[in-house]
Amino acid sequence: MENIEAVARSGRNPDQTRQRILQAAFMEMYRSGFQGMRLDDVIAATQLTKGALYHHFPNKRALGYAVVDEMIIPTVDAVWLQPLKNAADPLQGLIDVIEQMPDNEHKPPEMKRYGCPLNNLAQEMSPLDEGFRQRLDYAFRVWQDVIQETLERAQQKGHIRADVNCGEAAMFIMAALEGCIGLAKNAQSMERLHVCNRGLIQFIRSLQPRK
């Protein structure tokens, strides 16, 4: 009875209902990909009706776009961008984010099993759907921009060499991070992620001025 009442209350709260749908759709997409996601499974996970789902999202594609905009991009922001923007020591802040990423409270807890939701979806959908491609490209560009700004602040402080191209280094760091997560996913090993991240941190330290 309590469960039924909870569903009824959420049905009277459009924002809460929308959030429940997005969370369920995110998990279905994370496990099965967008193409493998079934709306019937989303409906079953939320215990809502088809009418409630279609009230908020007219079709599967609209729901997928909303998952990117309202679930995946904010997760990237919480895990990667905000810590870098708030770091007093930009270079150490970047290193800290990489070291702490496997245990970050904002990352999906299933990351070892399923990998990075942003990269998974980019590989699956970018060649197939321009709406997905544009959204995912935006997320990657913002991520790269924040890493670049972090490196540029470190450069201004003299913490990395003046000859370092911060834009190129930022793209490499972002790509390496995604590669590290992908290796951990394939091996189903967080230790693989830690080892790969340590190598990336060595690269970042190599950008410092030579003593």
pLDDT tens string, the chain, 211 residues long: the values are: 334 333 444 445 778 889 999 999 999 999 999 999 999 999 999 988 888 899 999 999 999 999 999 999 998 898 889 888 888 899 999 999 898 876 655 556 677 788 889 999 999 999 999 999 999 999 999 999 999 999 999 999 999 999 999 999 999 999 999 998 888 888 888 888 888 999 999 999 999 998 7
User: Where do the CATH 1.10.357.10 domains begin and end in the chain?
Assistant: 67-205
Q: Give dist(CA 174, CA 166) in Å, integer.
A: 12
Q: What is the pLDDT of residues 46-81, one digit of tens each?
A: 988 888 899 999 999 999 999 999 999 998 898 889
CB 108 within 8 A of CB 123: no
State the architecture of 1-58 in CATH terms: Orthogonal Bundle (1.10)
Domain boundaries 67-205, CATH class: mainly alpha
Instruction: Give pTM, 2 decimals.
Output: 0.84
Exposed/middle/buried for residue 12 (C-beta within 10 Å: 0-12, 13-18, 19+) = exposed
pLDDT tens for 155-175 read: 999 999 999 999 999 999 999
C-beta pairs of 11-14 under 8 Å, 24+ apart in sequence: 11/48, 11/52, 14/56
Domain(s) labelled CATH 1.10.10 in the chain stretch across 1-58
Are the CB atoms for 171 and 100 separated by under 8 Å? no
Token digits of residue 125: 């959908």
Residue 164 near residue 151 (C-beta atoms within 8 A): yes
